[in-house]
Amino acid sequence: MLSIFRTNQVFVSFLLLFYGGLLFSGVLVFPAAAEAGPHGFLQHWVIAWLPNTPLVLFIAIVVLLFLQAFMLNLMEYNYRLDRELHMFPGVFFMLFSAMVPGPDALLPVFLANIFLFLAIYEVMGTFKQNQAAGNLFNAGLFLGVACLFYPSYAVFLLVLFSGLNILRGFQFMERIMLFAGVVVAYYLTGTTAFLTGHWNLFTDLQGLNAYGFLDLQPGTSIPYALLPWAVFLVILVFQHPLFMQKRVIQTQKRITIWYWVMLMSVATLLIQKHLAIWHVHVLALPVSYLTGMLVSRMRPNWAELLHILLFFAALYVQFEPWIFKNFL
């Protein structure tokens, strides 16, 4: 199955819509409420607007995750960070997303990741551009929207600043332009909240109350399903020198930015209030992209075996309640 995505045709990514539908079909079997844990002001609006039915929830989850998988493949198609062009990042994004118990709700990180990706994409596009003010403002604006869905994404401002250092060197006005985009996102949303009578809710969800230091809930345990995340995270850290070998300088710089994203994804643990297991989805973008690069270097038969193992592991995680209820 993985061989289907070993191609330079980006339209193949549309198959991930059906792939994701299979992986997350457990949402239909085990319906749950459409709200999950701490979230930002925009997520509150989405929850209020979205009909609370299993089918709508299933469609929303699959479509949002497909969009992220498609965008990862599109980045690989446009920037060609790997030696061989492939559509693997989207495949592993779906697999890793399904490797977390659930999702049984429309998680705020699903929406925040879309805008985080757009911010990263805008920054990566500034390499060797004489005038990048538009890209930088857009990057800040997208990051601001991401924070309005999930406040702890504020740490990724350091990623964007570091990305500019890597790609363009230090220019003070460029940092101001990027930060201005974040401010505009908060200003426009805050103004709308004030005019619609939701100012107190806005300040509660986006103010200091939205943050906490290592705020792990009492009795929380780490499930075995997160083991693949931990294993691949460690492997990818040590694969950095291999990814850099015989690559042009702009490719090396962009790969390094993905490592910064992965590092700051871990750093969100330090400021996220009411940490839950599904918070690991913050790592989905960098881990999936870099894992796609890693798997492309494996022999095809070993790559297929790894994919099959992860695929059935993901299905087991999604359908574990049904399996235990009917067979164990």
Q: Band of the pLDDT at 249, cuts 50, 70, 90?
A: confident
Quote the pLDDT of residue 3.
Answer: 80
- Rg of the chain taking only CA atoms, in angstroms: 20
Question: Is 113 in contact with 68 (CB distance < 8 Å)?
Answer: yes
User: Mean pLDDT over residues 212-238, rounded?
Assistant: 74
| Three-class SS state of 37 | coil
Q: Band of the pLDDT at 34, cuts 50, 70, 90?
A: very low
Question: Is 119 in contact with 143 (CB distance < 8 Å)?
Answer: yes
Quote the pLDDT of residue 94.
Answer: 93
Exposure letters 123-137 (e unless 16+ CB within 10 A, then b): bbbbbeeeebeebbb
The model's pLDDT over 169-208, given as tens digits with 9 standing for 90+, comes to: 778 888 899 999 999 999 999 999 889 888 888 888 887 7
Which string of DSSP letters, residue by residue, matches 230-290? HHHHHHHHHTHHHHHTT--HHHHHHHHHHHHHHHHHHHGGGTBSSB-GGGGGGGHHHHHHH
- Give the mean pLDDT of the chain: 84
Q: How far is CA 25 from CA 17, 18, 64, 97, 111, in A?
A: 12, 10, 14, 13, 19
Q: Band of the pLDDT at 320, cuts 50, 70, 90?
A: confident
- 326 vs 150, more confident: 150
Which residues pair with residue 211 across a beta bridge?
Answer: 272
Q: Is the pLDDT of residue 103 over 60?
A: no
The CB density around residue 5, as the number of other CB atoms within 10 Å, is 22
Nearest Cα neighbor of 309 from 321, 323, 295, 297 is 295
Residues 6+ apart with CB under 8 A from 91: 2, 5, 16, 19, 69, 292, 307
Q: Is the pLDDT of residue 325 over 70?
A: no
**CA separation for the pair 183, 200 (Å, rounded):** 19
Amino acid at the residue 318: Q
Taking each continuous run of H as one helix and of E as one strand, the counts in the chain are 15, 0
Which string of DSSP letters, residue by residue, matches 63-100? HHHHHHHHHHHHHHHHH--SSS---HHHHHHHHHHHTS
The model's pLDDT over 123-178, given as tens digits with 9 standing for 90+, comes to: 988 887 778 888 899 999 999 999 999 988 999 999 999 988 888 877 888 889 99
Which residues pair with residue 275 across a beta bridge?
Answer: 216
Q: Is the pLDDT of residue 92 over 90?
A: yes
Percent of the chain's residues with pLDDT above 70: 90
- 274 vs 67, more confident: 67
